[in-house]
Amino acid sequence: MIEKNTTDQKLPLSSALFTAFICILFGSNAVAIKIAFEGVGVFTTAGLRFGMASVAISLWAIATQKPLKINKKQFYQMLIIGIIFFVQLSLFYFGISKTNASRATLFVNLQPFFLLVLAHYFISGDQISKRKLLGILAGFSGVAFAFMENKGAAADFQTGDLIVLIAAFIWACNGVYTKKIIENFEPFHMVLYPMMIATPLFFFEAYVLDSSMIFEINSKVILSLLYQAIVTGSFGFIAWIAMLKKYGAVSLHSFIFIMPIAGVLLGGLVLGEPITVKILLSLALIVSGIFIVNLKWVHAPT
């Protein structure tokens, strides 16, 4: 998520429920991606999603009179982020095509842990505390359980799992660079311009690598594409930024543990994916890790 320094304050119940709802939307995105693959090529899906999302966010920016212009230095910074974004999402979409949505959701939610480790070394003053270290260990222990599935059908997913894990690491690398330059940008620039840069690259990649770019169009596939582009890629982002400005990063980040829970449960309910004991253990450890990392101790007044 894109964040700037804001004043953190307690969320009222209605805002807390809305934030939880946004996290459920983000968490279920992998399910929508898998459904889109039933009628659209892997990289074509990415191109369509981010192409439509770019248009939607641009229209929102124009309607709300947000500044779209960036200078030459900012353009080159966006070019770097856009290329990393393209590589990251290409791997993520390809990885999802080789594994279950529920498993992909678990692995991609390791991004905050990777980001903490990288920030410790590359961002001044962003050191790993004992509490954060405990959360990181819990998160990576969850990965171990996911890889401990019995041989058989689950073993076929391990290639996809590894690719998604690499995508999560690249996402974290992008996050470190973003943290270094974000103060010079409007928050929505950090999403819009990488999308705009990556979209033609996705379509070129789709033309070269997808065996068929579009092979079946039905209402389910169309809705899944619109969900990715409009609900999570546009509305979800705009809503998250609005809540971030009002309540601050600390308040919102205490809800992100909902994302992997939503992804795993909806993968089972919507796609009929197996939710095994090891997947549940993995989910519990990753969610616990996210919770521990974002936990803020409140001291009783003396």
DSSP assignment, residue 187? T
pLDDT (average), residues 120-126: 81
Burial of 262 (0-12, 13-18, 19+ CB in 10 A): buried
pLDDT digits (tens, 9 = 90+) for 74-116: 999 999 999 999 999 999 999 999 999 999 999 998 888 898 8
pLDDT grade for 301, boundaries at 50, 70 and 90: very low
Burial of 138 (0-12, 13-18, 19+ CB in 10 A): buried
**pLDDT at residue 184 greater than cutoff 90:** no
Distance from C-alpha of 176 to C-alpha of 174, rounded to nearest angstrom: 5
pLDDT on residue 149: 66
pLDDT (average), residues 141-166: 76
Q: Could you give the percent of the chain with pLDDT greater than 70?
A: 90
**pLDDT at residue 299 greater than cutoff 80:** no
pLDDT on residue 207: 97
pLDDT digits (tens, 9 = 90+) for 261-271: 999 999 999 99
Q: Where is average pLDDT lowest: 117-121, 157-161, 250-254, 263-267?
A: 250-254
pLDDT digits (tens, 9 = 90+) for 25-35: 999 999 999 99
pLDDT on residue 3: 53
Q: Could you give the percent of the chain with pLDDT greater than 90?
A: 53
* Average pLDDT over all residues of the chain: 87
Residues 6+ away with beta carbon under 8 Å from 216: 38, 39
Phi, psi of 31 (to 5 degrees): -65, -45
Q: Please count the helices (runs of H) and the strands (runs of E) in the chain.
A: 14, 0
pLDDT grade for 292, boundaries at 50, 70 and 90: confident
Its pTM stands at: 0.88
Annotated domain spans of the chain: 13-294
**Most confident residue range from 11-20, 58-67, 175-184:** 58-67
Burial of 26 (0-12, 13-18, 19+ CB in 10 A): buried
pLDDT grade for 132, boundaries at 50, 70 and 90: confident
pLDDT on residue 297: 46
Give the N- to C-terminal CA distance of the chain in Å, as an integer: 36
pLDDT grade for 122, boundaries at 50, 70 and 90: confident
Q: Where is average pLDDT lowest: 31-35, 128-132, 190-194, 266-270?
A: 128-132
Residue type, 194: P
Q: Where is average pLDDT lowest: 32-41, 137-146, 149-158, 260-269?
A: 149-158
| Packed helices 258-271 and 277-294: angle between N→C axes, nearest 10 degrees | 160
Q: How far is CA 115 from the centre of its chain?
A: 13
In the block, tokens 């004043």 appear at: 7
pLDDT digits (tens, 9 = 90+) for 214-258: 999 999 999 999 999 999 999 988 888 888 777 776 677 778 888
* C-alpha dist (Å) from residue 142 to 145, 231, 279: 5, 29, 8
pLDDT grade for 302, boundaries at 50, 70 and 90: very low
**Most confident residue range from 99-108, 142-151, 152-161:** 99-108
Distance from C-alpha of 216 to C-alpha of 191, rounded to nearest angstrom: 30
pLDDT (average), residues 287-302: 66
Distance from C-alpha of 1 to C-alpha of 290, rounded to nearest angstrom: 14
